[in-house]
Chain A
Amino acid sequence: MPKGGGAGMGDAGRWIVGLGVIYAGLIVLPHVLSFSQKEIAVFLVINILLVVSYRLLTLTGEWSLGHVVIMGVGGYGSALYTKLVGIPVPISMLLGASTAAIVAYLLSFPLFRMKGFYFLIGSFAAGEVIRLLWKRFREPFGGPKGLKLIPSFPDVHVGGLTIDFFDPVNYYYFCLIVVSISLFVLFRLERSRIGLTFHAVHWQDQLAESVGVNTWRYRTLAFVVASFFAGLSGALLAHYIGTVNPNRFDVEQMVFVLIWAIVGGTATIYGPILGVVVLTILNEVVLRQLGFDEMRPLFYGVILITSIMFLPNGLESLVQKLRLRGGGPAGGGADAVSEG
């Protein structure tokens, strides 16, 4: 979303109110859900981080098929640091995320020789190699069955109160905090000079180069930062479900991330979030309750095709249309919805 002309305080105020309402809803949310839905809420929050970090990479114009494996690197890394070295979980999560970033940095050397479709397939191949290494080597990766009994997040004692993070509601709040901080960092990054350069690298890479932008470095930076947060989401997942295995990070999962990003749209930071939230609710709540378990991939396929045909700019374009109809560059907040 480009910064509007005469927005000023009114715009910022609207954002704060809007975010406040959303967060109030998110805090109340787990208390109105069933147990299995609470678990889904945890996964949803983790997936939001995954798909938003994926979007950062797409800002530079590259679509990777290795992002879920990078998430797995974070999960495997964090799990191994706690299991083998005995590092406390919160620190190992950050170490796992850093491992993902380092792996991405190493991969950037071969991968960024390629562009477009070649990068897509190259990233897929690199990811598959990592995944097959997990599968091949029982030590330390556990082979096809993966790692089990990963220590969960330790209990926290605040005063006389013990917070048990094995409980989905508490873990949900923990993830919500971690993901919110991460999203804020990603949001600030995009609004900074660096973020603007990402856009330049995407749309005008030769022009950007001619004015002295090292496009390779910015592509790599986007890849490494995106991978750090993907790794963090993997670590959050690993210490919640207590097990990671190669199949959890296969290309099918990657297709889902791609679907979320495409259906939501990648022009804004809320696009992919809309995509993952709407599709998860549709998938887990609506379709599951209708009892179409076997047919769910079919619906996903139909949704994907319809959205790329009729909503090529994603769900976010609907939101933007509503906003535009709301008229006035400044202030016309409340009547935005009523007119649409």
Chain B
Amino acid sequence: MMPALAPLPQISVRDLAIGYGEVPILEDLTFDIERGSVFIIMGASGCGKSTLLRHLIGLSEPLRGEIRYGDRVLTGAAPTERADILRDGGVLFQGSALWSALTVEDNVALPLEQLTGLGAAEARALARLKLGLVGLAGAEQLYPSQLSGGMQKRAGLARAIALDPETLFLDEPSAGLDPLSARRLDDLILELRDTLGVTVVIVTHELASIFAIGTNAIFLDAATRSILARGDPATLRDTSASPQIRGFLTRSPEVAP
């Protein structure tokens, strides 16, 4: 285990309202993301999962409410403080968002070269090590367009963990992957959580992943614009009073209203 220096951040969200323009798509969101947990944000397509993630990583400003990283408030923070807070988070975007003009190694080395005190040779060595961690050893000199979808996700993950983040945000990590690749990615995420001690926040609606790695979850609902349920995904599936959630988690439309 990596020794923890500062207490790991616990993200707390209070009375958050998010949306486009003045119209909120989700309101009164209040939840905590515990240190070291694998936190799942789930819900049907179009309920605002990815939008919520954009707010958590500071890409969008909420309409109302507050997001705290530990004791620091992200919402409304000055640009320098905001950058300082977000520096402890790594993000894997839905489409991997690798920089297509750079090789895989350069993609991972770029944040190391720009934001750390490492020398150029050390940054490259560490980039190769991170690529080795995600199982991409040997693919360093390829360009993103030469990689398969699963390898692109892995490369994006290597870039997300380049700076040893305390929180790892993953937007639909297993979307577009075959079941085996998705399973390997899940294993990799757990392995990284255990070895690096990161908190993982995942937006997904892949049921297999949700049950395999999720320790806590919130279920978003577009109709009521709120959190419909929260808790351990397996417990939710088995005991939730809401037919909508049981239907979602068991893939049975007949249960859902």
Q: Do the two chains bind?
A: no
Question: What is A's interface to B at a CB cutoff of 8 Å?
Answer: none
Residues of chain B at the chain A interface (Cβ within 8 Å):
none
